[in-house]
Structure 1
Amino acid sequence: MTVTIQVPEPLDAEQTPSRRRVVLWTVFVTVVILTALAFFAVGRLTVAAQQVADDGADAGFARDMQAHHAQAVEMALAVRDTSANEEIRAIAYDIATTQQHQSGQMFAWLQEWGLPQAGTEPPMTWMSAGTGEHGTAHQSQPAATPEERMEGMATPEQLQALRSASGADADRLFADLMIRHHQGGVAMATAALNLAQTARVRDFAAGLVEAQNAEILALQDLRARL
């Protein structure tokens, strides 16, 4: 597979610091996307024909991370359409496009495995096969919503606050929510890396941990300057 990368124009002294950061962020995200695609391709080539359990970590991760990504995309699109901050808009666009693509990959996995997109178990139950911390805590709350069960998910009230905010307040709230959201995503991907049975899911989870940890650092740096 041949991948052509369009390299941004060299930075010059006349470009503003904000513009330079946006260009560097674009280069960073391009590398992250290509790395994720590479992990995905390796997983497709190395995964052997095997039965994936409906209640196992592979299927549970694919379902729950789709829901987790969907909220990240929702938050990113909300702020991208309203923010006047060039860096926030660039970050939001990259999060939305990258996570929509990854959700499509996980949707396709479930189809290939012959499994439904919705499982019979509550969200995050698959993580109880690890330390037991998540599954045990959530089994006592069978009526909990996905937002309450999944780490890093914003509450409906927080989402409404983000939609209603504007200017620098919206930028700061988006950065705060997305940092926490990514931290939850890293926790889920780390569990999948340890529990998944297929090389495809383990490789994808490893790439996700690396990419989202890097994005957390970038968001924290940006948040400090807002």
Structure 2
Amino acid sequence: MTGSNAAAASIGPEARDVTGRPRRKHLGIVFVAVVILTAAAFFAIGRLSAGPASVSDAGPDAGFARDMQAHHAQAVEMALLIRDKSANEEIRTVAYDIATTQQQQNGQMFAWLQDWGLSQTGSAPPMAWMGSGPAGHEGGTGHSGQPGATGRMEGMATPEQMQTLRASSGAEADRLFTDLMIRHHQGGVAMATAAVSLAETARVRDFAARIVEAQSAEITALQELRGRL
């Protein structure tokens, strides 16, 4: 949790007004609207009862909470990297909203595992929980046909891609960030869609449904932005 808190602290205050072309302003409004409309819903869901008195350590609820925290952590890292180096106000606005929203969601999932009396890390490989549904739920097959077989969660950037992002600058960095974040969000949507079907608690199912809705909207906005870079 120390690293997450440090990342959150490093974000700092940021102006959210976006200036420039009308389409640029529109994208900023889309992202800010998504954040405002979903923040209250995520907070309310996070305060709901955990559901069953006992949540399985190897079940989909715990697996989702652990894996999505790791998934979000990389998105926050990418967002902070580009926010510090980009001169594009659209990119900076998008990065700020992604970092703050996903950091807050991570805090909620961290608290769930505490409420359930479970550790923040499990012994199962990434995404193994996605194969726990009827007939090995389609979302659990990943890209290789076996849950967790790739050793990397859906949409995660490779260490090499992260290093390239760190070393890039200017328009190249902006384009790379949007490409990586679109794919990252697509992976997040796949994971959350599986949780909607597989989770045993209403808290997790509702939270995952909100992630599907919010990140799907953000993918559309990112694709629009990528087309103008």
TM-score of the superposed pair, with normalisation by structure 1: 0.84
Residue deviations 1:58-105, cap 9 Å, x none?
A: 000000000000100010000000000101000001100110111111
Write the distance in 2 (CA, Å) between the matches of 1:139 and 1:164: 32
* Partner residue in 2 for 1:122: 125
Q: If you compute each CA radius of gyration, which structure gives the higher value, 1 or 2? A: 1
Which amino acid in structure 1 is aligned with residue 180 of structure 2? L
Write the distance in 2 (CA, Å) between the matches of 1:106 and 1:127: 17
Write the distance in 2 (CA, Å) between the matches of 1:85 and 1:140: 36
Contact preservation (8 Å) 1:56, 1:126: yes
* Partner residue in 1 for 2:80: 77
* Partner residue in 2 for 1:211: 214
TM superposition shift of 1:28 = 3.1
1:35 paired with 2:37, answer no
* Partner residue in 2 for 1:183: 186
* Partner residue in 1 for 2:145: 137
Alignment partner of 2:204 out of 196, 201, 205: 201
Bigger CA drift: 103-112 or 20-29?
20-29
* Partner residue in 1 for 2:166: 163
Which amino acid in structure 1 is aligned with residue 64 of structure 2? F
The alignment yields a C-alpha RMSD, in angstroms, of 2.3
1:26 paired with 2:29, answer no
Which amino acid in structure 1 is aligned with residue 89 of structure 2? E
Q: Secondary structure at the match of 1:54?
A: coil
Contact preservation (8 Å) 1:40, 1:203: no
Which amino acid in structure 2 is aligned with residue 168 of structure 1? A
Which amino acid in structure 2 is aligned with residue 37 of structure 1? F
Q: Describe the shift of the 1:168–1:106 C-alpha distance in structure 2 as closer, same or farther (beyond 3 A).
A: same
Contact preservation (8 Å) 2:128, 2:148: no
* Partner residue in 1 for 2:228: 225
Alignment of 1:25-104 (within 5 A): 25-41=31-47, 44-45=48-49, 47-104=50-107
Residue deviations 1:152-183, cap 9 Å, x none?
A: 00000100111111111111110010000000
Q: Secondary structure at the match of 2:220?
A: helix
Write the distance in 1 (CA, Å) between the matches of 2:31 and 2:196: 26
Q: Which runs of 5+ in 2 are unaligned?
A: 1-15
TM superposition shift of 1:120 = 1.4
Q: Secondary structure at the match of 1:154?
A: coil
Aligned length: 208
TM superposition shift of 1:32 = 2.4
TM superposition shift of 1:20 = 5.0
Q: Which runs of 5+ in 1 are unaligned?
A: 1-7
Write the distance in 1 (CA, Å) between the matches of 2:157 and 2:37: 28
Write the distance in 2 (CA, Å) between the matches of 1:34 and 1:121: 32
Q: Secondary structure at the match of 1:107?
A: helix
Q: Secondary structure at the match of 1:202?
A: helix
Write the distance in 2 (CA, Å) between the matches of 1:15 and 1:128: 46
Bigger CA drift: 16-25 or 194-203?
16-25
Write the distance in 1 (CA, Å) between the matches of 2:51 and 2:84: 43
